[in-house]
Structure 1
Amino acid sequence: MESRHLAVVVRRDPAAVAAFAREHLAEWAAGLAAGDPRPDPADPAALVVDSPMGEVRVRFAPRNDLGVLDHAVTLPDGAVVLNPLRVLPHPHGAEVVFTLRHLDGVTDEAFEADAAAVRADLDRLRALLER
């Protein structure tokens, strides 16, 4: 299984970047959230979002001061995908790193399309925070 680390540098404080990324998912993560997140009545720690894949549940790692924004996404078919996402200190502010995994059964073309979607999401996050 191949992993690819996609990253973008944001000229903002890492804590501010992490907080924004967690609280404003629908504004920057178009590949995941197509609508406003809402609380999951079955799991208060999770959010329900409409996505291009259908309705999904997103459960972030507990809030922390380390910039860990890993999140588990439960897909409409019940499969759960773990998405490592980190906000790291960088000399110019923060580096946001998303680890994309080439899962079994995913074609090379679909993996490349996912990578392009993640890159666009990270670029959107940077643009929102640097405006």
Structure 2
Amino acid sequence: MESRHISRVIAAPSATVYAFAGDPANLPRWAQGLAQSEVEVRGDVLIAQSPMGQVSVRFVPHNDLGVLDHAVTLPSGMTVTNPFRVLTHPHGAEVVFTIRRLEMSDDEFERDCQMIEQDLDALRRLVESST
């Protein structure tokens, strides 16, 4: 199984990036690959409309380590775990998303990687413009 780590440096404190990225209300603003409209919160599960249809998302509990790993249950019932970290960086913070190929074709994998890159670019723009 192939994995790819996609990262961006954001000129803001890691705690600020973590808080913004982990807030369900902000997901439609930057994570278009996951949430294309307002996210419904049901306890510790988020319900979102994604490009794949309705998905449920469960993030790890809030923590001081910058871990925003989340499990996404797709309309097919398959659950995909996505490692996502916010790290302290000399220029602010670095976000690192790990995408795993699983059963995707080369084209599907590249398309998903490009979508993650766009999402992380949007996250960077939003956080940097608000600090």
TM-score (norm 2): 0.95
What amino acid is aligned across from residue 7 of structure 1 in structure 2? S
**Per-residue deviation, 1:39:** 1.6
1:28 counterpart = 2:34: no
Aligned pairs for 1:104-119 (under 5 A) are 104=103, 106-119=104-117
Aligned equivalents of 1:21, 1:39: Cα separation in 2:
15
Note the residue ranges of structure 1 that are not aligned, 5 or more in a row: none
Aligned to 1:14: 14
Matched residue count: 127
Aligned equivalents of 1:26, 1:66: Cα separation in 2:
24
Aligned to 2:70: 71
Q: Secondary structure at the match of 1:63?
A: coil
**Per-residue deviation, 1:110:** 0.3
Aligned to 2:123: 125
**Per-residue deviation, 1:25:** 1.2
Aligned pairs for 1:63-102 (under 5 A) are 63-102=62-101
Q: Secondary structure at the match of 2:61?
A: coil
**Per-residue deviation, 1:61:** 0.5
Aligned equivalents of 2:52, 2:107: Cα separation in 1:
17
**Per-residue deviation, 1:117:** 0.3
Give the superposed CA RMSD: 0.6
Q: Secondary structure at the match of 1:8?
A: strand
Summarize deviations over 1:58-104 as a string: whole Å, max 9, x none.
10000001100000001111110000000000000000000010112
